[in-house]
Amino acid sequence: MLGGMLIRRPLMSAQDSPGGGGTSTLESELEELLRDEQLEDGDHERFSHYVRKEDIVESAVTGKPVYALCGKKWTPNRAPEKFPVCPTCKEIYEGLRDE
């Protein structure tokens, strides 16, 4: 997903597949890919989250989703300074600093 748009990639046909896996294999791989790429909704959208700087840069370049300290997975596309800090991320971050 890139900036709220779903990017569709062409699937390989059975004859293109290295092992010739067939339709059922392709369908199960597609289901797994879609399941892994699900982005989270909910209250997390109301907050700015703590994420590694390297991950933010990679996401900006590739559109790859990032993971916040609180566990939220999403593709950043808003100005974080417009939102309050996620209380869960803040608590985890402060706990890491105290160690």
> 62-87: string of b/e by CB count within 10 Å (b at 16+)?
eeebbebbbebebbbeeeeeeeeebe
Mean pLDDT of 19-42: 61
Distance CA 32, CA 25 (A): 11
Taking only Cα atoms into account, the Rg of the chain, rounded to an integer number of angstroms, comes to 18
Q: pLDDT tens across 39-81, in order?
A: 555 455 689 999 999 999 999 999 999 999 999 999 988 788 8
Q: Which among 78, 90, 80, 76 is positioned nearest to 40, based on CA atoms?
A: 76
pTM: 0.54
